[in-house]
Amino acid sequence: MRVPGWLLAAAAVVLAFLPHSLAPALALVAAVTSALLLEPAALRRAWSPRALVLVLCAAALAAAAVGWSSAPAKGVAVGGAVLLRFLVLLLLTALAARHVDAEAVQRMAARVGLTRLGIALGLALNALPHLGEAARDAWTALAVRGRRSRPRATDLPKLAEILLAHTGRVAEEAAAAAALRGHRSLVRAVPPMAARPLVVVVTGRPGAGKTAAMRGVAKALRERGVTVAGFIQVPVWDAGGKGGYLVLDVASGEQRTLAVKVGTGRGEHGTPFRFEGAGFAFARRAAERIATVLVLDELGPVELRGGGHMPAVRRALAREGIAAALVTVRPALIPSLLAEFAIPAATVVNVEGNRDPVPSLLAALAPVLPALSS
């Protein structure tokens, strides 16, 4: 009886707003029948005494206003229609609230071609309890830090910031988990790469020495007679911290400006930096050079959204003749990177706490560069 029940509920929604004097009454009949088929208890839940008083007041107000300004008979008709519409909406809301769960929503969304939105709704439902717990924990932590029994109202902005940041972290983790499990429903299908070089992922937190490791391994490879191409993003530091980025052509050693800090809220791609088109073009030419090993430092959130260096990187990785690619990426973005290029297996080298990561990187490249082993 579920399908007829929901069909009647949908008909009730349509009827409730049809411009005909009989439509609200028919809508109520459809809604009540729908509730009887799906869940009779919804009638009592929806039409609680408090809700009925509110609805009657609203209907009486509308009736009085219309009756006063035009004719009493018209007032009664309008008041009756308002009453019936409210009763229908209350009942349908009560039904929807009880019968909708994450799986049902996903199934329904998939049926109408909105699979990704369905997954997002399911994820949101499952995340609700976790976010509630996080809010309570943050609230308690703020009180403990302030050595008070409970936080003050002035702590609310801090609480909001903590909660929003936590939500952002959970969202990153959810995306990573989806990518690791090969759950590709949330992203469009990526065409498989023509060539599949060995991918060595160089990772570590910001400032861990990823870029230094890339420069070191590029030098070591050249010393062993291996041709190396690609680009390295070199941060430029000033008094205010990271002031921008230069892009270095690994093969030629030339540099160009890639990004300049313009301030929070004025940058591009949600960053405080303005990017130079010439810098991206320079990096693209560097990645297009013929070489055995390709160095790509660094692929960040902008690239994994399809922007920045991504088009050039995609073309370069699809080229024949590359034995291996060294790709720098932050730990949280590794799953997204693997999913983006449909890479089934990769060697991950974490440079954190590693004083000289170059030998580890050379060892990771050895399977496709036997000369490095000898």
State which of positions 262-291 bind other proteins (CB under 8 A): 264-266, 269-273, 275
H or E stretch at 173: helix 156-180
What does the alpha-carbon distance between residue 212 and residue 356 come to, in Å, rounded to a whole number? 10
What does the alpha-carbon distance between residue 209 and residue 349 come to, in Å, rounded to a whole number? 12
Taking CB under 8 A as the criterion, the residue among 4, 20, 22, 68 binding other proteins is 68
Coil, strand or helix at 273: strand
What does the alpha-carbon distance between residue 122 and residue 318 come to, in Å, rounded to a whole number? 36
Q: What is the dihedral of CA 329, 332, 334, 337, to 10 degrees?
A: -80
Q: Among residues 169 and 219, whose Cβ is nearest to other proteins?
A: 169
DSSP string for residues in 308-372: TTHHHHHHHHTSTT--EEEEE--GGGHHHHHHHTT-S--EEEE-TT-S--HHHHHHHHTTT-GGG
Region binding other proteins by CB under 8 A among candidate stretches 77-85, 146-154, 283-291, 360-368: 77-85
Compute the least distance from the CB of residue 331 to other proteins, in Å: 11
Q: Among residues 233 and 292, whose Cβ is nearest to other proteins?
A: 233
DSSP string for residues in 24-52: HHHHHHHHHHHHHHH-THHHHHHT-HHHH
Question: Strand 255-261 vs strand 273-275: parallel, antiparallel, or unpaired?
Answer: antiparallel
C-alpha distances in angstroms, 284 versus 178, 182, 192, 287?
Answer: 30, 29, 21, 5
Compute the least distance from the CB of residue 345 to other proteins, in Å: 20
Token reading at 72: 């009493």
Q: Among residues 89 and 363, whose Cβ is nearest to other proteins?
A: 89
Characterize 147-158 residue by residue with b for buried, 16 or more Cβ atoms within 10 angstroms of its Cβ, and e for exposed. Answer: eeeebeeebeee
Region binding other proteins by CB under 8 A among candidate stretches 32-40, 68-76, 209-217, 287-295: 68-76
C-alpha distances in angstroms, 147 versus 97, 121, 372?
Answer: 41, 39, 59
Compute the least distance from the CB of residue 95 to other proteins, in Å: 10
Compute the least distance from the CB of residue 61 to other proteins, in Å: 9
Q: Among residues 225 and 265, whose Cβ is nearest to other proteins?
A: 265
- Site track 227-246 with other proteins (rule: CB under 8 A), x = hit: ---------------x--x-
What does the alpha-carbon distance between residue 327 and residue 325 come to, in Å, rounded to a whole number? 6
- Site track 115-134 with other proteins (rule: CB under 8 A), x = hit: -xx-xxx-xxx-xx--xx--
Is residue 29 close enough to count as binding other proteins by CB under 8 A? no
Region binding other proteins by CB under 8 A among candidate stretches 148-156, 208-216, 257-265, 281-289: 257-265
| CA-wise closest residue to 348 among 215, 200, 216 | 200
Compute the least distance from the CB of residue 179 to other proteins, in Å: 6
Compute the least distance from the CB of residue 170 to other proteins, in Å: 6
Is residue 360 close enough to count as binding other proteins by CB under 8 A? no
Angle in degrees, 0-180, between the axes of helices 72-99 and 2-16, rounded to the nearest 10: 150
Where in 289-308 is the site for other proteins (CB under 8 A)?
300-302, 304-306, 308
Count residues near other proteins (CB under 8 A).
79
Is residue 86 close enough to count as binding other proteins by CB under 8 A? yes
Where in 154-193 is the site for other proteins (CB under 8 A)?
157, 160-161, 163-165, 167-172, 174-175, 178-179, 186-188
DSSP state of 183: -
Where in 331-350 is the site for other proteins (CB under 8 A)?
336, 339
Is residue 196 close enough to count as binding other proteins by CB under 8 A? no
Compute the least distance from the CB of residue 123 to other proteins, in Å: 4
Q: Is the Cβ–Cβ distance between 1 and 35 less than 8 Å?
A: no
Compute the least distance from the CB of residue 249 to other proteins, in Å: 18
Tell me whether residue 372 is exposed, middle or buried, using C-beta atoms within 10 angstroms of its C-beta: 0 to 12, 13 to 18, 19 or more: middle
Is residue 44 close enough to count as binding other proteins by CB under 8 A? no
Region binding other proteins by CB under 8 A among candidate stretches 29-37, 88-96, 145-153, 285-293: 88-96
Region binding other proteins by CB under 8 A among candidate stretches 70-78, 136-144, 147-155, 356-364: 70-78
